[in-house]
């Protein structure tokens, strides 16, 4: 049986599963005895009072004295305010401690990330940290998740290019799509995401929306160059089918490489000087 969204959200905020279930049960019906909470929240009776007292200590519930003792959930808005204040206080303490430490670990050239949520977090980090250029290839589902950061990047003046075989949502920047139905594509293609930021930082990963998804995040310019070139090839193939002029986009995506290649291709090869025959 799937847990309610509220329970899952509380677990992500640091509450235990039983604490989250107990709070959810109290929100639905209060006041309640420990016995009633145990039955509604599927918590062992031997453990329920310890769970409820931890909720009281955390400000998420209130105790009503009596025999038997009963409990009431703190209003959700009040709990949200408490959690925000604690989070802000904790991050402030962490920030001050970092400044006092006055050091930072070296960034590896490449590292792996596991899990759909972590992969999207890393992708958002690359997008939010971009300053000049963003090149992406992915599916509508992942593009929608990244959309707020992509819009923010566009407002910063970042040049943005996005490619997908599926129909993409309305997005800023230069968008290239075959417009195919996502559900039909999923029958034979898997979700993949590529993000290249500022020609240096790259994420390449699986985005099948599972805990087993894996990605590689690189800080190496050659990997960024290869990833950008692959997306440029996809866009070029699309332009050949649709007749869309992509030369200006290619020039901004690939920089001097496009002009240099055109110059080389336009040059006449030098003809070798004729050999002079010696006298017989």
Domain of 140, CATH number, reads 3.30.870.10
State whether 118 and 243 are in the same domain.
yes
Q: How many domains does the chain have?
A: 2
State whether 246 and 141 are in the same domain.
yes
Characterize the bridge pairing of strands 110-114 and 214-218: antiparallel
State whether 154 and 246 are in the same domain.
yes
d(Cα 237, Cα 163) in Å, to the nearest integer?
A: 11
Share in percent of the chain as helix, strand, coil (round to 5):
50, 20, 30
Model pLDDT, residue 280: 42
Give Cα separations from 138 to 146, 221, 225, 273 (angstroms): 10, 21, 17, 53
Contacts of 204 (CB under 8 A, 6+ apart): 192, 193, 194, 215, 216, 218, 227
Q: Provide the whole-model pTM.
A: 0.66
Q: Are 232 and 250 in contact (CB under 8 A)?
A: yes
Indicate if the pLDDT at residue 208 is higher than 90.
yes
Q: What is the pLDDT of residues 193-206, one digit of tens each?
A: 999 999 999 999 99
93: preceding bond cis by omega (within 30 degrees):
no
Give the residue numbers spanning the domain of 182.
110-257
State whether 52 and 134 are in the same domain.
no
**Across the chain, what does the average pLDDT equal?**
85
Indicate if the pLDDT at residue 229 is higher than 80.
yes
Give me the phi and psi of 33, to 5 degrees please: -80, 165
Q: Any idea what the Cα angle at residue 78 is, between residues 76 and 84, rounded to 5°?
A: 100
DSSP strands (E only) in the chain: 32-33, 61-64, 70-73, 110-114, 133-137, 159-166, 174-180, 192-197, 201-206, 214-218
As given in the structure block, the two tokens for residue 119 are: 């992969």
State whether 123 and 242 are in the same domain.
yes
Residue with more model confidence, 261 or 126: 126
d(Cα 63, Cα 26) in Å, to the nearest integer?
A: 12
3-class SS of residue 266: helix
């Amino acid at each position: 049986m799937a847990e309610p969204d509220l329970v899952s959200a509380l677990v992500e905020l640091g509450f235990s599963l039983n604490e989250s279930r107990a709070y959810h049960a109290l929100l639905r019906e209060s006041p309640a005895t420990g016995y009633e909470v145990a039955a509604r929240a599927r918590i062992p009776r031997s453990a329920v009072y310890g769970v409820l007292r931890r909720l009281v200590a955390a400000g998420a519930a209130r105790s009503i004295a009596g025999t038997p003792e009963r409990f009431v959930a703190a209003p959700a808005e009040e709990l949200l305010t408490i959690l925000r204040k604690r989070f802000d206080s904790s991050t402030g303490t962490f920030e001050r401690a970092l400044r006092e430490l006055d050091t930072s670990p070296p960034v590896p050239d490449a590292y792996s990330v596991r899990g759909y949520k972590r992969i999207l977090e890393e992708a958002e980090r690359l997008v939010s940290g971009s300053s000049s250029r963003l090149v992406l290839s992915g599916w509508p589902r992942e593009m929608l998740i990244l959309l707020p950061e992509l819009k923010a990047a566009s407002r910063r003046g970042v040049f943005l290019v996005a490619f997908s075989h599926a129909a993409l949502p309305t997005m800023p920047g230069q968008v290239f799509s075959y417009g195919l139905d996502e559900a039909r594509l999923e029958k034979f293609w898997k979700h993949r995401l590529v993000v290249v930021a500022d020609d240096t930082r790259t994420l390449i990963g699986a985005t099948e929306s599972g805990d087993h998804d894996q990605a590689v995040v690189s800080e190496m310019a050659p990997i960024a160059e290869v990833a950008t070139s692959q997306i440029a090839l996809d866009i070029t193939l699309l332009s050949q089918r649709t007749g869309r002029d992509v030369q200006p986009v290619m020039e901004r995506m690939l920089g001097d490489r496009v002009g240099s290649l055109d110059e080389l291709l336009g040059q006449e090869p030098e003809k070798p000087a004729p050999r002079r025959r010696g006298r017989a």
